Structures are given as structure tokens and as C-alpha cells.
Amino acid sequence: MSTTATDYYELLEVSRSATPEEIKKAYRRLARELHPDVNPDLEHQEKFKRVTAAYEVLSDPEKRQMYDLGGDPLSNRGGGGFSGGFDFGDVMDAFFGGRGGGQRRGPRGRARRGQDALISITIDLQAAVFGEEKEIAVDTAISCEKCTGSGMADGTEAATCVMCKGHGEIQSVQQSFLGQVMTSRPCPACQGFGTTIPHPCVECSGQGRVRHRRNLTIEIPPGVDTGTRIQLQGQGEAGPNGGPAGDLYIEIVVRGHDLFERQGDQLHCVITIPMTSAALGTSINIETLDGPEDIAVAAGLQSGAVVTVKHKGASRLRSGNRGDLFVHINVETPRKLTAEQQTLMQQLAEMRDEKPNTVVTRAESPGVFSRLKEAFTNK
């Protein structure tokens, strides 16, 4: 058992068999309560110093073993064993799990991953349904060919930073109520790289990359729609100083069509047929995205009826299957009749026992406009 006057275990309010994690948790709790920013009076400041000294000993396996054997690892320090070169990194390690003990992070590499890029392209409905191969122009950063991404002129190399001696950071010691506090910050001369480039490449000014417009051929899969994004790995911005390139994202915008309205994997269109065709029935040739298609119009077809053409709609993304085409029929009533046509129409009405000025209302049979409205709004 230790013969020192201070019981570090008692100060941290832990048992002598406490694990390193329990010691760290105890110190975090006490440090938050006693920190001078919270309790600035001298009594709390002194206790905070003692608690921090206890943590410095018990968090270090060698110092803890020495203490448990009766020695005092801080005995060579003046003023109660705490006014020496205590590294503030130990305190930050207890709070945030960071590095302590004055350890350096070391220089950071110059090569870094490039940023992702996003461009938008507009395609027509035909391409969205069937897919296509498309060539696009991309304006991004690419690796500098002159220096192959190194950022250095031919025949030269990076030099060790004279300020940080290649460590990438500068350490400084300041006096505070805790004693001597050591802090580290990135070296301002080399920005933390540990090296400098005395002779940068004239083409890229030491960045290792330049702006360039290039052409790419991309595959647009069937079934894309407005808002679909296609990811091209490694086709984005080249990274600085030879770092890997980011990804390129292609955002799709589908141009509107003169005839077809798209709803997911469905296509809708409206056609108008004469009254006589609707009454007698007929076969109509319509133009689909696949080419001409004959559809049958049954005799007695009413305005607003819908004819379904299977598997002539839009493709489903990543499945290859297609939806249906819905043809909305609008029956046209003749606006002008010759005298002979009017006579024939009157005779037809008499034969069908249709009395003039008679209106038949069927709530369950909406007209073409209400049906189309419902079709295009209920997605």
C-alpha cells in the first residue's frame, strides 16, 4: 500500500481494484464539477489540481504500479507534485478520448480524395423508356499530366519543413494555473504536411490537378425518370496531389412529350374519334413509342372510355418490365350539319324513340374531362 500522504483512489472516489475505464469515468465526472470555469474559487482550483494529479498517476500503468507499491511517481515534482511539465493532452484524453502524453499526430498526407461532382442532363421520353448511350461533356478537375499529380516541377522533390522539422505541427508550452500546459497546432509554414514544395509545377501551381473539359459516354438505363441519379465512380473531381477522384452523379430530367403523359410506369394519351365510329365500332391505328398500333373500338363506346394497351407503357427501372398504355377516348359531336345530315339525324332520333329536349343524367358515368382529371391526378 502507498505510504504517500494523499490517497489517489480516495480522491477519485474509486476502489483500488478500479479498471482504467472506471478511473477515466470518475475523473471526467469530478473534472466537470471542479473545473475552474465552473467553480473559480481557490478551494475548488486546488482540489481540481489534486484530482488531476491522481488521474495522471492512476491512468498510467507504470505510475500506478509504483504508487501501489508505496512509491510516489510525482515525488520529483515541486509544489505537491503537480507544478511540473504536465501535458494538457492528458486532460483532453480523459474528456474526449484523444491523444495524451505529448504524442504527436504526425504530418498529414498531401494526397486527398477529390470532391463528388453533379451535372444535370435532359433526355426525351423515348430515351427514358428504352434507355440509350449518350455522350456528355464534363468540366472537372483532372490529374495534372505534367507533374503526374505530384504538384512538383520536373526533377525536384519536396523539402522537409524547417519550422516543424517534418512533424507537421508546432508544440508550445504555456504557463497556467495547471502548471505548464503543452498544446499542439498545425504548422503554419507547411499547413501540417511536414514538407514544402520549393519548386511547384507551373502547370497546376503545385495543386497536382487542373481544370479540363472532357467527353464521357454514359449508359442511361431504361426506366429512368426526372430526379433519377446515375453514379459514376471515380469520374468526379480529381483529388489534390494525386489523391483519388470523387464520384460523378448524373441527374436526369425527362423532357415533356407532345402526346403521352407519364405516371410511373404508365403512359396515358387522349384521342378523339367521330361520333359514328363510336356508335358503329371501328379499328384505329395510333402511334405508340414502339411504333404504330391498332386498337379496337367497340360499337357503342362512350366518350371518356379508356382502352388499355398492355406492355406499351414506360419501363420499370432495374427490372426491364413495362407498364401499360392507357388510351382515353373522346367522342366528337359534329358542330355543323348540312340540311340533309340534319334530316338524317332527325330520322335516326325518331327511329330510336329519342325525344327532343330530353336529358338523361347518370352520375355513375362521368364525362371525358372528369375521367381524365381523375386519371392524371390520382397517382
The pLDDT profile of the chain, 379 residues, written as one tens digit per residue, is: 444 457 888 889 999 889 988 998 888 888 888 876 667 777 877 888 888 888 888 988 888 888 887 776 776 544 333 333 344 444 444 444 444 444 556 788 888 899 999 999 999 999 999 999 999 999 999 999 999 999 999 999 999 999 899 998 988 776 655 566 777 888 888 889 999 999 999 999 998 999 999 999 999 999 999 999 999 999 999 998 888 999 999 999 999 999 999 999 999 999 999 999 999 999 999 999 999 999 999 999 999 999 999 999 999 998 879 999 999 999 998 888 899 988 998 888 888 888 766 665 555 444 444 444 454 444 4
Q: Is the torsion defined by CA of 74, 79, 82, 83 positive or negative?
A: negative
Going along the chain from its start, the domains and CATH numbers come out as: 8-96 (1.10.287.110), 117-153+202-254 (2.60.260.20), 261-377 (2.60.260.20)
What per-residue confidence (pLDDT) applies to 178? 56
- Residue 28 CA to residue 44 CA, distance in Å, equals 15
Output the CA angle 130-133-136, nearest 5 degrees: 130
Note whether 200 and 144 are within 8 A (CB).
Answer: no
Q: Alpha helices of 8-149 — where are they, by DSSP H?
A: 8-12, 20-34, 42-58, 61-68, 78-81, 88-96, 125-130
Residue at 235: amino acid letter? Q
Note whether 81 and 112 are within 8 A (CB).
Answer: no
Residue 183: closest CA among 203, 169, 167, 165: 169
What per-residue confidence (pLDDT) applies to 75? 60
R_g of the chain, CA atoms, integer Å: 41
Note whether 265 and 313 are within 8 A (CB).
Answer: yes
What per-residue confidence (pLDDT) applies to 361? 56
